[in-house]
A and B are shown apart, each in its own frame.
Chain A
């Protein structure tokens, strides 16, 4: 299967600071990448969908100015949480698909803790 990496796997930051999470497709070109947020024992909540070279499409209720998503290349997407607050603490997962693959391939996730 295709491999997606995420970095960092864990991050702790102080309230008011920004943190960037990287998502890379290692062995395929991800024309579309997805960013999810997951609370303990719950399903994945889609935050946004991004196509390479285009602006991300955010789900209703997700603040686009707070969660900045960039998909500058076919192998890299980034999620920047700006002015993080404790309520932003969560597990963030990225995934990618490409034109000839109809399933998503997921990264291992990033646990964000805002103190």
Chain B
């Protein structure tokens, strides 16, 4: 069975600083996709970044980047130049086939 683990329930970061959110997963599949979703106080789930497992290059979207370590089954999210609007719950997610699995989330607070 697939599992997604986020070991940091809460984190905080000073505005303009960099923060890394951790995520590990377990799967026996060879072809899968990984995502980070953001859920701000509005509770609308927003896709932050995605990574295809077959790609070795780490995905990057503006201030957001991932460190994808396939052998270690690790998929961390780095947020650079943190902004107040980054305050949200962040969920790591895994897709294998048509099944999605979510981690328990990390609550990130950006401190002004």
Q: Check if B91 sits within 8 Å of A43, measured CB to CB.
A: yes
CB distance from A113 to the nearest CB of B (A): 15
Q: Which residues 63-86 of A have a CB within 8 angstroms of B?
A: none
Known: A91-B43, A103-B47. A46 touches B104 (CB 8 A): no
Residues in A whose Cβ lies below 8 Å from that of B45: 44, 93, 95, 106
Q: Which residue of A lies closest to B95 (CB)?
A: A102
Q: How far is the CA of A104 from the CA of B95 in the complex (A)?
A: 10
Give chain A's interface secondary structure class.
strand
CB distance from B105 to the nearest CB of A (A): 5
Q: How far is the CA of A46 from the CA of B44 in the complex (A)?
A: 16
Is B42's beta carbon under 8 Å from chain A?
yes
Number of B residues whose C-beta is below 8 Å from A?
Answer: 22
Residue from the set B42, B50, B98 with the largest chain A CB neighbour count within 10 Å: B98
Is B20's beta carbon under 8 Å from chain A?
no
Is B102's beta carbon under 8 Å from chain A?
yes
Residues in B whose Cβ lies below 8 Å from that of A34: 100
Q: Check if A102 sits within 8 Å of B91, measured CB to CB.
A: no
Q: How far is the CA of A1 from the CA of B44 in the complex (A)?
A: 13
> Residues on A close to B: CB < 8 A?
1, 32, 34, 38, 41-44, 46, 49, 91, 93, 95, 97, 102-106, 108-109
* Given A44-B102, A93-B43, A103-B33; 17 other pairs, CB 8 A cutoff: A1-B47, A38-B43, A41-B107, A42-B104, A42-B105, A43-B91, A44-B45, A93-B45, A102-B50, A102-B52, A103-B35, A103-B95, A106-B37, A106-B44, A106-B46, A108-B44, A109-B43
A/B interface sample: 17 pairs, CB < 8 A = A34-B100, A38-B43, A43-B103, A44-B45, A93-B45, A102-B33, A102-B52, A102-B95, A103-B47, A103-B50, A103-B95, A104-B93, A104-B100, A106-B37, A106-B45, A108-B42, A109-B43
